[in-house]
Structure 1
């Protein structure tokens, strides 16, 4: 197991969040487009699996996490939900919730990087 570079991991998540934000905003922009299918991005856990970074329990009573679905980077979702009268599958409420989740995750990512950067600066100043 190699050491994890936090800044590389944070920048990788930021790039993933930018792609997810683009997919969600595209879904919202095309909510009234006839025949438009919802776009979705693979979970970040799948991206982490490709880089050999994973969460593991260090104690038997820790919560275990299952693996995320393996999928393409951005894919069109064919859900079993009934389509809108226009024939598209975008549900605005879901997309707005995803948009809020992306924003909160961006803020968390930025706060973590800022904290670690501050800690590095304090150690180098002596």
Structure 2
């Protein structure tokens, strides 16, 4: 019953997006010295959530559906082409660390939304 509340769905989607983006960032950092590696990222949460709401985007519901990469959790991956090093690698460790901080903030926001909604739900039920 409570899993159908939109606020909980949104908080879960935001946390899942943060997890997928952190996986992409970790992969970029791990391949920072790999010649020819192109840095990857995940489309913004707002774009991904908007596409899920309108139904205009394709959403994978399981790993065999639409054949998406497991690390992206169904979110659209973006490949960076600018700022290539001489060996063809486009990973910038400074940029990846900044993205990592953004992801941490997004995950904390998702948890805060979930806790707040849970508190409101408990209060409405007369429980503390």
> Which string of whole-angstrom CA distances, capped at 9 and with x for unpartnered residues, describes residues 58-103 of structure 1?
xxxxxxxxxxxxxx71132212x2x223320101100000001101
TM-score w.r.t. structure 1 length? Answer: 0.74
Q: Number of aligned residue pairs: give it.
A: 104
In structure 1, C-alpha distance between the alignment counterparts of 2:96 and 2:49, rounded to whole Å: 24
In structure 2, C-alpha distance between the alignment counterparts of 1:49 and 1:105, rounded to whole Å: 17
Q: How large is the RMSD of aligned CA atoms in angstroms?
A: 2.0
In structure 2, C-alpha distance between the alignment counterparts of 1:49 and 1:112, rounded to whole Å: 18
**Cα distance, 1:43 vs. partner?**
1.2
Query: Counterpart in 1 of 2:126?
Result: 125
In structure 2, C-alpha distance between the alignment counterparts of 1:28 and 1:96, rounded to whole Å: 9
TM-score w.r.t. structure 2 length? Answer: 0.73
Query: Counterpart in 2 of 1:14?
Result: 15
Pick the structure with more helix per residue: 2
1:52 aligns with 2:62: no
Larger radius of gyration: 1
Mind listing any 5+ residue stretches in structure 1 that lack a counterpart?
Answer: 54-71
Contact 2:25 2:40 in 1 (8 A): yes
**Cα distance, 1:119 vs. partner?**
1.5
Query: Counterpart in 1 of 2:79?
Result: 76
**Cα distance, 1:17 vs. partner?**
1.2
